[in-house]
Structure 1
Amino acid sequence: MDAPVRSSESAGALGGRDLALGAIDLALLAAIITAGQLSHGVDPLAEPLAALETIAPFAVGWLVMAPLSGLYAPGVGKSLVRSVRATTVAWVAAANVGLILRASPLFDGTATWPFPLVITGFGLLALVGWRGAYAAYARSGR
C-alpha cells in the first residue's frame, strides 16, 4: 500500500490546487443534489433554505471525510489508482455522515429508502469520474 509522500512544506496544509479541487468537489455535490431536488419538483430558487439544508449534511460529510481519506495528500491527484481509491473511500464515508446528519434532528429531512443508494451511487459516479479524469489530465503533465 502506498503511503502518502509528504514534504515539510505541504504537511498539514492545503495548497491552492487542493482548495480549487475541493471547491469543484463541493460544487459537483451541490449540482447532484440540486438535480435530485429538481427531479422531485423542488425549486431551489424558490426554496433556497430547503436546498441548502439538503446540501449541507453531505457537504459537512465531505469536508470531514475527504481530508481524512487522504484525498488531498501530495501526489494523490496525479495517480489514477490512488485518486479513485481515496475518492471512493471519501465519498462512501461522507455519504454516510450526510445520511446520518440528514436523519438527525439537526436537519429537516429524511433518508427514506432508496435515497441512500441513489445519493451514494450518483455521488460515486460523479466524484470518481471527475477525479479520475483530473488524475489522467494531471499525469499528462499539462
Structure 2
Amino acid sequence: MDTPARSPASGIGRDVLALGAVDIAILAVIIVVGQLSHGVEPLAEPLVALETVVPFAVGWLVMAPLAGLYAPGVATSLTRTVRVTTVAWVAAANVGMILRASALFDGGAAWPFPLVMTGFGLLVLVGWRGAYAAYADTRR
C-alpha cells in the first residue's frame, strides 16, 4: 500500500488536507444554501455569510481531529467513517451553536436552527464521507 504524500512542515498528508478542505467547503455550501433560502444574499452581504460559517468551521476544525476523523485508515473504512463523521459533526455542530449564540457572533441560534443545521450537516457530511470511503475502499 502506498504511503500518502505528506507536507514536510506539518507532517499532514495531502489526502488529509484535501478531505479537510472539502469538508469545510461542504459546510460553507450548506450554510450559504440555508442563507439563500432565507433571503440572505451572501455575495451582497459577505460578512453575514462569513459570520455564520466561521463558528461551524471552528467547531469542525476542533472536533473532527479530536474525534479521529483524519486518523489513518478512517477515510477508507465505510463503517468507521460513518460512525466517526457522525460523532465529529454532532460535536462540531454543538460547538458552532455555542459560538453562534455567544456575544462573539451576531445572529444567535434561534430554534429550529440547531435542529436543521445538525440534521442537514449530518446528512450531507456523512453522505459525502461515506461515498468517499466506499470509493477509497475499492481503490485499495
Taking structure 1 as the reference length, what is the TM-score of the superposition?
0.90
- Whether the aligned pair in 2 keeps the contact of 1:78 and 1:135 (CA below 8 Å) is yes
The CA distance in 1 between the partners of 2:36 and 2:97, in whole Å, is 19
The CA distance in 1 between the partners of 2:103 and 2:22, in whole Å, is 29
Q: 1:110 offset after TM fit, Å?
A: 1.1
Identity rate, percent: 76
Q: 1:109 offset after TM fit, Å?
A: 1.2
What's the counterpart of residue 90 of structure 1?
Answer: 88
The CA distance in 2 between the partners of 1:14 and 1:112, in whole Å, is 37
Which structure has more relative contact order (CA 8 Å, sep 6+)? It is 1
1:104 and 2:102 equivalent?
A: yes
The CA distance in 1 between the partners of 2:96 and 2:130, in whole Å, is 23
- Whether the aligned pair in 2 keeps the contact of 1:69 and 1:89 (CA below 8 Å) is yes
1:65 and 2:59 equivalent?
A: no
Query: Structure 1 stretches of 5 or more lacking a match?
Result: 1-8
| Structural RMSD (CA) | 1.3
Taking structure 2 as the reference length, what is the TM-score of the superposition?
0.92
Q: 1:85 offset after TM fit, Å?
A: 0.7
- Whether the aligned pair in 2 keeps the contact of 1:80 and 1:132 (CA below 8 Å) is yes
Q: Which amino acid aligns with 1:120?
A: T
What's the counterpart of residue 38 of structure 1?
Answer: 36
What's the counterpart of residue 16 of structure 1?
Answer: 14
Q: 1:141 offset after TM fit, Å?
A: 0.9
Q: Deviations over 1:8-58 (max 9, x none)?
A: x9xx94210000000000000000000000000000000001100000000
What's the counterpart of residue 4 of structure 1?
Answer: none
Query: Structure 2 stretches of 5 or more lacking a match?
Result: 1-5
Q: Which amino acid aligns with 1:121?
A: G
- Whether the aligned pair in 2 keeps the contact of 1:14 and 1:72 (CA below 8 Å) is no
- Whether the aligned pair in 2 keeps the contact of 1:66 and 1:94 (CA below 8 Å) is yes
